Amino acid sequence: MEYFLELFLGGLTRGSIYALIALGYTMVYGIIELINFAHGEIYMIGAFTALIFASVFTLLGFNDLSILLLASLAAVTWASAYGYTIEKLAYKPLRKAPRLSALISAIGMSIFLQNYVLLAQTSDFLPFPRLIPHFSFMDPIVHVIGSAELVILITTAVVMIALTLLIKFTKLGKAMRATAQDRDMALLSGVNINKVISFTFIIGSFTAAVGGVLIASHIGMINFYIGFIAGIKAFTAAVLGGIGSVPGAVLGGMVLGWTESFATGYVSSDYEDVFAFSLLVLILIFRPEGILGRSTTQKV
Amino acid sequence: MLSFAEIRRSVLVSAWFMFLTFPVMVIRVNPIEEVVEWRWRNLIMVGAGSFLISFVWRYLIARKERGKKAAEAGRAGGPPLARRAAVHAGFHKPLMGALAVFVLIFPFLFSTYQVNIMATALIYVMLGLGLNIVIGLAGLLDLGYVAFYAVGAYAYALLNHHFGLGFWAVLPIGAVMGATFGILLGFPVLRLRGDYLAIVTLGFGEIIRLVLENWNDFSFGPSGIANIDRPGFFGVEMSLEAATNYVYYLLIGLVLMTIFFVNRLQNSRIGRAWIALREDEIACQAMGIDKTKTKLTAFALGATWAGMAGVVFAAKTTFINPASFTFLESAIILSIVVLGGMGSIPGVIVGALVLILLPEYLRAFSDYRMLLFGAILVIMMVFRPEGLIAGARRVYEFKGKKETSDTADGIHT
Amino acid sequence: MKAKLVRFGVFTLTALLALAMSAGVGAAEDIKLGVAGAHSGDLASYGIPSIRAAELVAKEMNARGGVLGRQITILTEDDVCKPEVATNTATKLVSGGVPVVLGHICSGATKAALGIYNASNVVVLSPSATNPALTQSGDYPNFFRTIASDDAQARLEVDFATDRLGLKKLAVIHDKGDYGKGLAEFAKKFIEESDKAEVVLYEGVTPGAVDYSAIVQKIRHSGAEGVIFGGYHPEASKIVMGMRRKRMGTVLISDDGVKDDTFIKVAKEYAEGVYATGPRDTSQNPLAIKAVKEHQETYGADPGAFYLNAYAGTMALLNAIEKAGSTDYEAVTKALRSEWVETPLGKISFDERGDAIGVGFSMYQVRNGVYIEVK
């Protein structure tokens, strides 16, 4: 039973990270129906920015807590700036083009950003400072769940709730929902579409950067390639939960995290990804719109 | 043109990019040695570069917009020069002849190395044309196409390893295996549309690769299969050079066959059904087209070419391992189709040659070639989303008398 | 359709003509030494030292009047460690007329290229390709290497775990890669054959996965006293950090992919006590000292990975050509197998299969932040 609990919590932690990245995919998709392949790279750039600023502040002799706060602040600032710029450069000119063109543009952007960081920084793995402090009150249960895991779970929950409130109750949230439902109609009702889309990218990049900082300080190392695999998994999570749906992305992330964790724990880690993708195929066969996705009736 | 407003905009863009790239470009930390390097020169270069590029960018965007408006107003200029030259009968035949001669004598003009990379490019032409059926014609976004390529390659490698089967025996088997897997994937995903289909095919591609990687008893795992036989020619022993040239001619033959088939398919009943399906699924069904059958044929036929290309790939490199069949490979094949021009056969051929040969000749800039590759994909899509050579839409015009599609081809585009 | 074909023709013709390149032709008298491997991309740090080693040896030999009175020229070709690129690289070198090649760096790329070299009677000597099948399968009579194969490493790891440390329950973990999984399979086989310990867990982890908490829990649950890991340092440090954070004292024994100072710098205090196999210590060998000094003088930096293996390999190849009296394939392979040569790795020759005699591995342990050889 303890083993089950350990795997459950491990899956939950991993799932939280997937969920944080999946939010960006799902919101962007909800608004402009684009698979933003470069989103995983935003997560990577967020983690790199945090590493760079953390190192600089360490050398300047700041204390641990202020390093954590300043580095995280820098990470979300720059990640959001990258998200905003990418949309303006690579996707905005393509809004009226065939959907596949925007997808290729996204793939190109993803390859570009990976190599940009590779060339401007390094291809080696870099040690990431352990920004999350160790809580001594966690000691008795450290073999089940560590401090870093706890911080990840709490942060994810907070981000999730804040985002739901934002979408449900603010004017901007209303505009986002309107744009997602019918872009032309929203435009006619006086919604500034460009602003809404930019904002969606900024929020998505923000959550991805939060995920990037958390996981990097948890596992303690990063390189330019971490965004790719995390991005594909998070995208899977978003589709699993029903792309376009915020609670769906969270649920999808968790389901994917648990699947991988239990597959490793009870079967074999050789096939953890096979289990993850097979689950995806199975769910989509029986619920083609994902677990929480709305089924859309196609109009002619 | 260089108004004050323009300059102010560019200054703002430049300032924004200097801010944006500041952490990654300027600061380089080495946490291992605990040193921080400040590269202020990079900041100046980014600033100056983005200042200049922003002018070009805006100019090109404006030009694209103008072109679009002109086209909408029906003031489209004449067809591009290349196309006009091609249509002109005087150019047509000699040009085709020259090309055919060049292709035939290519191995005698260039070194074995050149022939070898050209053969690699030709494999991608096959792959591109195959994927073009699925994406360009039927409009089904397949991100796991490389799985069928792997199926073909492993079919040949394993049959050759265990039973000593030759290339020519396995080529049709590889094609059939590819088609079978295409149908296997096709069935469960029939109900899915658009991006759901994309992620499921991506997952399928990954599953195939992971199985090849983990199931050692079957596929020899990540260490791969070596010493695969080259294609035979009536049992003649060949030197390396002869073998390379032979593979080259063999691929030329296969590519010609592919072009012939795809072209015929495109204009056939099933081809028109694919295009109808791509344009509007519901209208298509209303016209009495069997959606299931049409989609499955697209998957199966697309996968057939990938299977054959896989067999040739295994025979050409004589060594395969799962690392050759990653998602990036699928992305490159997809880029060939989209960059070249979806649904256009010459477009796909040019796309494959450009995307595969370019990195080979960019060896001098080897560090920057993937960076350039990514940038080129984005820039191409932004300024020419329809690809290098756009697929020509079939237009039926009433001209008072009946015209066959062949003679109309030059006029309606 | 015809129109389309012509359009295609225009494009291809211009493209092809633009691409036309002429093959370089060296002076007929020179002996050409091909150097192939990853010279760019993310694995470049493994390939570039071999070019430098070859150049330094050739420079010295040329200053002494060359080999057999002929000067040595170096042809370098990049394969970025990809099998499909390696065949192009090999073809290019063969077209360039090289009789001997130093390379390739990665095992997969080496395997793919060897068929081409074999067909053209080119001798290949790798400083770093450790896959056992390269020599043990007997498929590649033209292949030699100045590094011990993976099974030798696995043997050392297993013997050390069972005999020196007396561990009874071992988990064997790998990174699903060519190198790591091959090594892990040997380790598993040797443990099962020895009867001194049992394999309680045998699994692969996915490199780049978000975290390894599930596999760490599984190791804990399996009751393993030690983990033998086949793979590279990023995965090894994630595993060891995960284990130590869960307060597990499980011993980690790994390979020369982990015997890298980056591992210690990344895993920091968690690296302490980790065992890793690595090439035998050569710091006392006078030729090795000289080779390292030459590198520092020429490039102003310490040499990278496999530099000494490449240095020794170049010396062995040139020595064999000298002893054979020609660059003839039969004579050179015979000389490689029969002649002994003093190199930075010690006095070496090659056995029938192509493995170097006199080259091996030692066990190291991280103590106070550095790798110390365990005697």
Question: Which of chain C's residues have a Cβ under 8 Å away from the Cβ of A270?
Answer: 176, 203-204
pTM: 0.84
Q: Which residues touch B273 (CB under 8 Å, ≥6 apart)?
A: B284, B289, B294
- At A53, list the tokens: 């600023």
Residues 149-208 of A with CB under 8 A from B: none
Helix axes A39-59, A193-219, angle to 10 degrees: 60
Nearest residue to B121 via CA among B331, B321, B380, B350: B350
Report all structural domains of chain C as residue ranges with CATH numbers, in order of start.
31-147+284-359 (3.40.50.2300), 151-273 (3.40.50.2300)
Q: What share of chain A has pLDDT > 90, as a percent?
A: 36
Cα–Cα distance between B366 and B370 in angstroms, integer?
8
Report pLDDT digits (tens) over C302-332: 787 788 899 999 999 999 999 988 888 999 9
Q: How many CB atoms lie within 10 A of CB A195?
A: 12
Identify the structural domains of chain B with CATH numbers, from first to last.
4-72 (no CATH), 110-383 (1.10.3470)
Task: Please give the residue that has the higher pLDDT: either B283 or A86.
Answer: A86
Q: Of B374, B320, B400, B333, which Cα lies nearest the Cα of B128?
A: B333
Q: What SS3 state is found at A238?
A: helix
Of the candidate ranges B98-112, C2-16, C358-372, the one whose mean pLDDT is the lowest: C2-16
Residues pairing with B38 in the sheet: B27
Calculate mean pLDDT across residues B393-405: 59
Question: How far is the first Cα of chain A from the last one, in angstroms, to the nearest whole number?
Answer: 53
Q: Which pLDDT does position B4 carry in this prediction?
A: 85
Q: Does A59 touch chain B (CB under 8 A)?
A: yes
Pick from C120, C88, C81: which is nearest to C104 by CA? C81
Question: What is the CA angle A73-A78-A80, rounded to 5?
Answer: 95
Q: Is the dihedral of CA B321, B326, B328, B334 positive or negative?
A: positive
**Each residue's pLDDT tens digit, A94-106:** 888 877 788 889 9
State yes or no: pLDDT of A296 exceeds 80: no
Domains of chain A: 2-286 (1.10.3470)
Question: At B36, is the pLDDT very low, low, confident or very high (cuts 50, 70, 90)?
Answer: confident
Answer whether residue A223 shows pLDDT above 50: yes
So what's the pLDDT on residue A205?
A: 95
- Mean pLDDT calculated for residue range C262-285: 86
Contacts with A60 (C-beta within 8 Å, 6 or more apart), sequence order: none
Report pLDDT digits (tens) over A126-172: 888 887 777 777 777 777 778 888 889 999 999 989 998 998 899 99
DSSP strands (E only) in chain C: 31-37, 72-78, 100-102, 123-126, 143-145, 169-174, 198-204, 226-230, 251-254, 275-279, 341-343, 346-350, 356-357, 361-367, 370-373
pLDDT for A19:
93
Beta strand C198-204 with C169-174: parallel, antiparallel or unpaired?
parallel
Between the CA of residue B294 and those of A190, A285, B176, B201, what are the distances in Å? Answer: 43, 19, 18, 18
Mean pLDDT score of chain C, rounded to an integer?
84
DSSP H or E run through B350: helix B345-361
Identify whether the C-beta of residue C296 lies closer than 8 Å to the C-beta of residue C302: yes
User: Is a pLDDT exceeding 50 seen at residue A23?
Assistant: yes
Alpha-carbon span A172 to A185, nearest angstrom? 16
Query: Residue B365: pLDDT above 80?
Result: no
pLDDT at C16 over 50: no
**Does residue C295 have a cis bond before it (omega within 30 degrees)?**
no
User: Given this model, what pLDDT does residue C21 score?
Assistant: 35
With residues binned 3-state (H G I as helix, E B as strand, rest as coil), the percentages for chain C, rounded to 5, are 45, 20, 35
* Helices (H), ranges, C22-68: 44-63
Nearest to B118 by CA among B245, B238, B232: B245
Q: At what angle do helices B291-317 and B269-279 cross, to 10 degrees?
A: 110
User: Residue C360 is inside which H or E element, if any?
Assistant: none
Which residues of chain B neighbour A80 with C-beta distances below 8 Å?
none
Q: Using a CB-CB distance cutoff of 8 angstroms, which residues of chain A are in contact with residue B214?
A: 270-271, 274
B345 touches chain C (CB under 8 A): yes
Cβ within 8 Å of residue A200, ≥6 positions away: A27, A28, A30, A31, A176
Q: Is C228:C254 a contact under the CB 8 Å cutoff?
A: yes
C28-55 burial code (b ≥16 CB/10 A, e <16) = eeebbbbbbbbbbbbbbebbbbbbbbbb
What pLDDT is attached to residue C25? 37
pLDDT at C41: 66
**Nearest residue on chain B to A105, judged by CA atoms?**
B378
Asked whether residue B406 carries a pLDDT value surpassing 70, the answer given is: no
Residue A252 confidence (pLDDT) above 90: yes
Q: What is the mean pLDDT of residues A61-88?
A: 91
As a whole number, mean pLDDT of residues B352-357 equals 86
User: Which amino acid is residue C303, in one-letter code?
Assistant: P
pLDDT tens digit sequence for C86-136: 888 888 888 888 999 998 888 888 988 888 898 889 999 999 888 888 888
Quick check: B102 and C16 CB within 8 A?
A: yes
Of B117-131, B148-162, C203-217, which range is least confident?
Answer: C203-217
Q: At residue C352, what is the residue type?
A: E
d(CA B148, CA B288): 30
* Alpha helical stretches, state H, B110-215: 112-132, 146-163, 167-189, 194-214
d(CA C125, CA C117): 11
Residue B281 has pLDDT above 70, yes or no: yes
**Is the pLDDT score of B123 beyond 60?**
yes
pLDDT at C27: 42
Inter-residue contact C358 to C166 (CB < 8 Å): no
pLDDT above 90 as % of chain B: 19
Cβ-Cβ contacts under 8 Å for B232 (sequence gap 6 or more): B166, B167, B168
How close is the nearest chain B Cα to the Cα of C64, in Å? 33
Shortest Cα distance, chain C CAs vs residue A105, angstroms: 23
Using an 8 Å CB-CB cutoff, list chain B residues near C95: 111-113, 241
Q: In terms of C-beta density within 10 A (0-12 exposed, 13-18 middle, 19 or more buried), how is residue B293 classed? A: exposed
The Cα–Cα gap between A68 and A133 comes to 9
Inform me whether the pLDDT recorded for B410 exceeds 50. no
C307 vs C127: CA distance, rounded Å:
8
B55 token code pair: 């002018």
For residue A193, what are its two tokens? 């579409």
Cβ-defined contact of B382 to A112 (cutoff 8 Å): no
Q: Give the pairing of strands C356-357 and C341-343.
A: unpaired
- 3-state percent helix, strand, coil for chain A, nearest multiple of 5: 80, 0, 20
Alpha helices per DSSP H over B37-109 = 40-72, 81-87, 89-109
Q: Is A44 on the interface with B (CB under 8 A)?
A: no
CA distance C14 to C35: 33
Q: How far is it, in rounded angstroms, from Cα A204 to Cα A27?
A: 7
- Cα–Cα distances in Å, from A15 out to A8, A9, A26, A260, C108? 10, 9, 15, 9, 35
Angstrom CA distances, B144 to B141, B180, B327, B332, B351, stand at 9, 15, 7, 11, 19
The ipTM of this complex is 0.88
Reported as a pLDDT band with limits 50, 70 and 90, residue B364 is low
CA distances from A69 to A65, A81, A152, A210 (A): 6, 18, 15, 11
Per-residue pLDDT tens over the stretch C18-53: 444 333 333 447 889 999 988 876 677 788 889 999
Residue C4 contacts B where some CB pair is shorter than 8 Å: yes
Helix (H) or strand (E) holding C65: none
For chain A, the average pLDDT equals 87
Cβ(A263)–Cβ(A271) below 8 Å? yes
| Chain A interface, best mutation among C211, C222, C246, C264, by max A CB count within 10 A | C211
- B/e letters for C243-258, b = 16+ CB within 10 Å, e = fewer, are bbbbebebbbbbbbbb
- pLDDT (average), residues A282-299: 73
Q: What is the CA radius of gyration of chain C?
A: 23
> For residue C319, how many C-alpha atoms fall within 13 Å in the half-sphere facing its CB?
20
Percentages (nearest 5) of helix, strand, coil residues in chain B: 75, 0, 20
A90 touches chain B (CB under 8 A): yes
At C26 the three-state DSSP class reads: coil
Which three-class secondary structure state does DSSP give residue C143? Answer: strand
Percent of the residues in chain C that have a pLDDT greater than 90, as a whole number: 28
* Inter-residue contact B335 to B359 (CB < 8 Å): no
Among the partner-chain residues B92, B120, B363, the one whose CB lies closest to the CB of C78 is B363
Q: Is residue C139's pLDDT more than 90?
A: no
Residue B35 has pLDDT above 80, yes or no: no
Query: What pLDDT does A297 receive?
Result: 53
| CB spacing of C5 vs B96 below 8 angstroms | yes
CA of B413 to nearest chain A CA: how many angstroms apart?
A: 19
Query: Which chain C residues are Cβ-neighbours of A261 within 8 angstroms?
Result: 213-214
pLDDT-derived band at A15, boundaries 50, 70, 90: very high
Can you give the pLDDT at residue A219? Answer: 83
First vs last C-alpha separation in chain C: 75
pLDDT of residue B97: 85
pLDDT band at C55 (very low <50, low <70, confident <90, very high): very high
Residues 6+ apart with CB under 8 A from B18: B43, B46, B47, B50
Task: Say what the pLDDT of residue A232 is.
Answer: 86
The CB density around residue B402, as the number of other CB atoms within 10 Å, is: 6
User: For chain A, what percent of residues have pLDDT higher than 70?
Assistant: 98
Beta strands in chain A (DSSP E): 126-127, 221-222
Cβ–Cβ below 8 Å for B331 and A107 = yes
Length of chain C measured in residues: 375
Residue B394 binned pLDDT confidence (cut-offs 50, 70, 90): low
